Structure 1
Amino acid sequence: MRMQFWREAVEDIYCDNPPHQPVATELWRAVKRHNLTKMWFMKIIDEREKNLDDRAYRNIQELEMYAENTQSALLYLTLEMLGVRDIHADHAASHIGKAQGIVTCLRATPYHSTRQKVFLPMDICMLARSFSKKVPVKAYPAFFCTVALDDYLYNMRKVDFNIFHPSLQKKSTLLPLHLYIRSWKKTY
């Protein structure tokens, strides 16, 4: 039902008739102000709907597809809001979104394991920064999510990749500082 509501809401937003719902109203304003691409919203909704049955991913390609159509799609929309239309930024958004989706699944492994589900693919996570030399600086704010990804992967290495280690379940108090430093240095 929720996915159908959002599918109809997005259709109505692009017909200039948003539902009387606060999030939909703000989304309509953002679409109007930044000329956001409808396809990205529909990809997110479609992919989330496919994932409602909570089945395990059969392979890395399925997880990558899920991350591309959810996390990367959000980054593409963020780039549009920043006024960035650049192939290198899009390429980085694709890989960073995939890395974010994979790390999110990794972080959720202790929870999923209590339900006899484990997601452990990590091979694509290290590709995200290989594009940083070609991405325009204006696009960097869209990729500041890498600060949290780096923090988690660094902490995981410190505990010898023991995803069940209790320290990995704690919030990082230095994360805002690291985010500020990356923002100041104009890196991601």
Structure 2
Amino acid sequence: MDVASDPRIGLMRLLWWQEAIDKIFSNKLIEHPVAQALASVLHDHRISKIWLRRSVEARINDAKRDVTDIPKTVGELEQYAEDTISTIFYSTLQAGGIKSTVADHAASHIGKASGLLLLLKSLPYHANRNCHFRYIPIKVAEKHGLLVNEGGQLAVQIDSREGLRDAVFEMASVANSHLQKARELAGTVPAEARPVLLPAVPTQVILDTLNRVQFDVFDPKLTRGVLGVPPLWFQLKLKWHSWRGKY
């Protein structure tokens, strides 16, 4: 959606992929190089249609929402993160032939944590583009004095920079809770599944960077390097966790 010149064009592309996934699983030929490569991977690794379909549909539903259509609770954003990110982890585990309820459970938590934190990091971008903080839920915004009524329409605005930091902190705390729950499962996650769960590392990097800037999403430090840390340090963290078989 963000690379399309017109939101309607972005939505059309998502709808095209929804149809493409249906065609792939119906063994129909698609004259598109990425779709053909995807079809080959899906065939070779027998990945379920449900995960890809759910990921695309979640993005379509989000694209159809008006910028003033704000989620009511953090739970709605957790579900969006589950549908768009956790599903990719499920597909990757399945592609590796890894059948583990514990690994799926950890993947669910990491996907939710990652999704929430990426939405927080993107708040300035969406605010500059749409003049709205559409990914701060109504209940959180109201709690921290950010909810206003614009002609009968609820909107989230920054009347208080401190209020915004408090709202971001509350949502980041939910993400941190998911990350901790995923790591509590580490001892029972199969060794072959742990590389799939390495996205927990960049998720932790975002969380740590937000903490360093006191959860001010407008702090320019968040946009430096890779998720707010030097690229070499980021690579070393990934290598260290991978070498130790941890996430």
Is the TM value for this pair above 0.5?
yes
1:32-181 alignment, distance < 5 Å: 32-52=43-63, 53=65, 54=67, 55-114=69-128, 115-117=131-133, 118-119=135-136, 120=168, 121-126=171-176, 127-128=178-179, 129-171=183-225, 172=229, 173=231, 174-181=233-240
Residue 187 of structure 1 is matched in structure 2 by 246
C-alpha distance 88-18 of structure 1, shift in aligned 2 (>3 A):
farther
Q: Which runs of 5+ in 2 are unaligned?
A: 1-11, 137-167
Select between 86-95 and 113-122 the one with higher mean Cα deviation. Answer: 113-122
C-alpha distance in 2 between matches for 1:130 and 1:11:
37
Residue 159 of structure 2 is matched in structure 1 by none
State the 1:34 CA deviation.
0.7
State the 1:165 CA deviation.
1.2
Aligned structure 1 segments of 4 or more residues deviating by more than 6 angstroms: none
C-alpha distance in 2 between matches for 1:17 and 1:34:
18
Give 3-state SS (helix, strand or coil) of 2:109's partner: helix
% identical aligned pairs: 31
Is the contact between residue 18 and residue 24 of structure 1 (CA under 8 Å) also seen in structure 2?
no
Residue 3 of structure 1 is matched in structure 2 by 14
C-alpha distance in 2 between matches for 1:70 and 1:18:
26
TM-score, normalised on structure 1? Answer: 0.93
C-alpha distance in 1 between matches for 2:71 and 2:87:
19
C-alpha distance 153-30 of structure 1, shift in aligned 2 (>3 A):
same
Deviations 1:145-183 (Å, cap 9, x if unpaired)? 111111121122122222221111112312111111111
C-alpha distance 123-154 of structure 1, shift in aligned 2 (>3 A):
closer
TM-score, normalised on structure 2? Answer: 0.72
Deviations 1:19-55 (Å, cap 9, x if unpaired)? 1101110110111111000000110111011000344
Aligned residues: 188
Residue 34 of structure 2 is matched in structure 1 by 23
